[in-house]
Amino acid sequence: MKYLTESQIKKFQDDGFLLLKKFFSEEEMEPIIKSINKFSELPYNFWEAGKEMAYYETSNENENERILCRIEKYVDYHPEFQKLANSKKVLSILEDLMGGPCILFKDKINFKRTGGGGFRPHQDVQARWDEFVKYTMSIMISTDRSTPENGCLEVVPGQHKRGIIGNYDRPLEGDDLNGMK
């Protein structure tokens, strides 16, 4: 089954991203949301070495408080995420956009919590993935409503055509931001 139209594929090629609202059903998202909520309640010392990688940051509101900001490498240990990452829906879209079969390279849950920090403008490729960027694609599956008020991800159409912008491991600034609003 095809999930994307030719016009959606063209939009992705032109803009460098594609927004698919309500792509997953509530039934598909329910086990994912339950697991994410469970993760968010776990104490700092819960995580086992060599398994999921949980990252905490110091709260901007209380310097004595550490808050969960992201978890990586969780798909290997949680079947509900394996099912989602390897679903026909996800793989079909990736194959249509990438032009061939795809595999999961990295998985990450970002938590946007009260007191947490954000990120300044950047390209993920700036984290030194440029050698592989033509073979990779990022997918964001939002489990909460994304709005400017709650710190949603912002993207700028067409900027992918500029290649790598700015310096490695640094946010975009100054002339790097030309053409972005």
Rg of the Cα atoms in the chain: 18
The predicted-structure confidence for 53-102, as pLDDT tens digits, reads as follows 999 999 999 999 999 999 999 999 999 999 999 999 999 999 999 999 99
The predicted-structure confidence for 154-173, as pLDDT tens digits, reads as follows 899 999 898 888 888 888 99
Contact 178, 34 (CB under 8 A): no
The mean per-residue pLDDT over the stretch 1-24 comes to 95
Distance (Å, rounded) from C-alpha 111 to C-alpha 67? 9
Report whether CATH 2.60.120.620 matches the domain 6-120+139-150.
yes
Higher pLDDT, 46 or 152: 46
Predicted pLDDT at 147: 82
pTM of the shown model: 0.85
Q: What mean pLDDT value characterizes the chain?
A: 90
User: What three-state secondary structure class fits 69?
Assistant: strand
Residue 130 pLDDT > 70, yes or no?
Answer: no
Residue 129 pLDDT > 80, yes or no?
Answer: no
Half-sphere exposure in the Cβ direction for 179 (13 Å, CA): 9
Confidence band for 117, pLDDT divided at 50, 70 and 90: confident
Confidence band for 126, pLDDT divided at 50, 70 and 90: low
Structure-token match 């079969």, residue found: 101
